Amino acid sequence: MVDTETTATTDAPRNFIRDIVQDDLEAGRARGVVTRFPPEPNGFLHLGHAKSICLNFGIAKEFGGRCHLRFDDTNPVKEEQLFIDSIQADVRWLGFDWGEHLYYASDYFEQLYEWAEHLVRTGNAYVDDTPADGMRAQRGTLTEPGQNSPFRYRPVEENLDLFRRMRAGEFPNGTRVLRARIDMASGNMNLRDPVLYRILHAPHPRTGDAWSIYPTYDFAHGQSDAIEHITHSVCTLEFEDHRPLYDWLIEHLPVPSRPRQYEFARLNVTYTILSKRHLTRLVTEGHVTGWDDPRMPTIAGIRRRGVPAAALREFVSRVGVARAYSTVDVAMFESAIRDTLNPSAPRRMAVLRPLKLIIDNYPEGQTETLDARNHPDNPEAGSRPVTFGREIYVEQDDFMEVPPKKFYRLSPGKEVRLRYGYFVTCREVVKDADGQVVALRCSYDPGSKGGNAPDGRKVQATLHWVAAADAVPAEIRLYAHLFNRPDPGAEGDALADINPESLEVLTGALVEPALADAPVGEAVQFERTGYFAIDPDSRPGRLVFNRTVGLRDTWAKVSAKG
RNA sequence: UGGGGGAUAGUUUAGCGGUAAAACUCCCGGCUCUGACCCGGGCAUCCUUGGUUCGAAUCCAGGUCCCCCAGCCA
């Protein structure tokens, strides 16, 4: 059976974050470890999130701590319940469990508001009436310091009054914000009086219209961590510059714990795009069929494609965690998928592009049942019967009328083995009026039943096949990389690099009957072609398979070289 | 000409002062009722220049290149 285990393994390799946690534990700086995975529910989870999920949940598990799932839902205009639901499903599918620890930043809105007032009262925050463009102008540039807002030294009482009225909904969007009073001349832009609250008259998926002001990421994140007693708040490198602000807020607020932030390099993969903005466009502009299109790097897409959760975890584990910017070869992902599937995926025979083969010396109307093993290395997987007959189908790629050197498969006069069946020799090539090969007439050796010749002679190739008598038609979807260059977007718009041939639909495929009742999502290996899984589009009588990943194809390389 | 980070094989990662390790890719070969799997073998002037040291990928100093930051996004 396919590996469908849902419990994540703990064989994670060493990395600098684990080292930090271990040191903190050993030095007594932390009594236990509490991490969190904090997605904003504004899209589907993808490969990059998988890395973060495995890291955060993995560390918690390794050190006997816990990992929270917390939705960073501070911007209601971008967030939807649909995403909240899908994210939970995806994390679970990946094999992780947050137990009772499901939280929302919005759960803390009241507490955060109180802390905001605290900052106002202590003179560390003020209400600024400067419009957005004015604030931008006052912020300065990367090399020039910013200018103080004229409202920077507003009296505490006035700030308090204004802030309360902001909450009460008295002012329109964008007319005022609450800012931390830190340092307009800081080299770190995040310290130039960052915005803590903005006015947003927008309904929130969870709090409805209870609020007309919402905290920014910077004000919500660290404090949420503190509320949950997160010990190690792990995020990606682009938040490095926010750490001083994270710490500043923790220091100036009466928070119940002192979390620490650590950053690692986000995942990049060749031929893939992982920015939420681009993924959203792929969906909304119709370049793919949805968030779960098997070509998408989303967890949902990957799952639909037939990739087991264990393969995703294995990939993340192989990639490692570091602070160096990097782009992982997508081949590493494909390899992890094959390695995960190979030991367990049942073997079946399916002919993607059928070519009829007629065995002239096989009795007409006769069929027989042969025994085919379900797995070459695992006898316990058992076997299944396959029908053999006078007319069978083989792969078009397995025949060449004029074979190049090193082509071991069928060609005029050549003998090959039909897997678990007989040796057959190609005697005649049947063509239509256009000269296209439409069938092969062959002879077989009755003594080679089961796949071995009585005289011990060898053949160079063993072909997969299906019998015309009981083959089942199927649609097979072959996927190639969604982008046609390893670094999509490196020159201009990433969507301009979309591979127009990322999907190939084969409607005339024939598969062995044992495949007719394959469960959705579980991968099987079509011998000699790859790993495939039933797509949810599949219906009784209309099988649809997705190619999860192909097998390594040495011949393709040899033949490509000529 | 601001601040913050990063540089180890084609790609990721390990290495934490003792003479470069693993996975993936690629190449060569073996095995084979999947040209799969599996098994051999090959592929690195550790960004650079100096310094410290018996000894440096590891420590120090200078340089170079790359990434992030000027949202009332996260």
User: Which residue type, as a one-letter code, is found at position A214?
Assistant: Y
Provide the 3-class DSSP secondary structure of residue A299: helix
Which residues of A are part of the catalytic machinery? 40, 266, 276
User: Do the strands A543-550 and A530-534 form a parallel or antiparallel pair, or are they unpaired?
Assistant: antiparallel
Is residue A332's beta carbon less than 7 angstroms from any atom in nucleic acid strand B? yes
Spanning CA of A353 to C1' of B43, the rounded length in angstroms is 38
Q: Which nucleotide is nearest to A140 (CA to C1')?
A: B70
Low-confidence ranges of chain A (pLDDT < 70): 1-13
Is residue A551's beta carbon less than 7 angstroms from any atom in nucleic acid strand B? yes
What is the Cα–Cα distance from A477 to A507, expressed in whole angstroms? 9
Residue A174, number of CB atoms within 10 A of its CB: 11
How much is the pLDDT for A224?
A: 98
* In contact, A59 and A35? CB cutoff 8 Å: yes
What is the Cα–Cα distance from A524 to A30, expressed in whole angstroms? 46
Is residue A553's beta carbon less than 7 angstroms from any atom in nucleic acid strand B? yes
Chain A residues 31 to 70 whose Cβ lies within 7 Å of strand B are 38, 40
Q: Which nucleotide is nearest to A463 (CA to C1')?
A: B34
Task: Give the bridge partners for A232, in sequence order.
Answer: A260
For chain B, which bases have at least one atom within 7 A of a protein Cβ?
A: 1-8, 10-16, 23-27, 33-38, 66-74
- The burial class, CB within 10 Å (0-12 / 13-18 / 19+), for A145 is middle
- The burial class, CB within 10 Å (0-12 / 13-18 / 19+), for A27 is exposed
* In contact, A240 and A263? CB cutoff 8 Å: yes
Tell me what ipTM this predicted complex has: 0.97
Spanning CA of A504 to C1' of B36, the rounded length in angstroms is 23
Spanning CA of A133 to C1' of B44, the rounded length in angstroms is 52
Chain A residues 379 to 438 whose Cβ lies within 7 Å of strand B are 406-409, 417, 419-420
Spanning CA of A24 to C1' of B22, the rounded length in angstroms is 28
Spanning CA of A264 to C1' of B34, the rounded length in angstroms is 41
What is the Cα–Cα distance from A550 to A80, expressed in whole angstroms? 36
Is residue A173's beta carbon less than 7 angstroms from any atom in nucleic acid strand B? yes
Spanning CA of A330 to C1' of B58, the rounded length in angstroms is 31
Is residue A143's beta carbon less than 7 angstroms from any atom in nucleic acid strand B? yes
Provide the 3-class DSSP secondary structure of residue A422: coil
How much is the pLDDT for A14?
A: 82
How much is the pLDDT for A12?
A: 58
* In contact, A108 and A204? CB cutoff 8 Å: no
What is the Cα–Cα distance from A35 to A17, expressed in whole angstroms? 12
Is residue A189's beta carbon less than 7 angstroms from any atom in nucleic acid strand B? yes
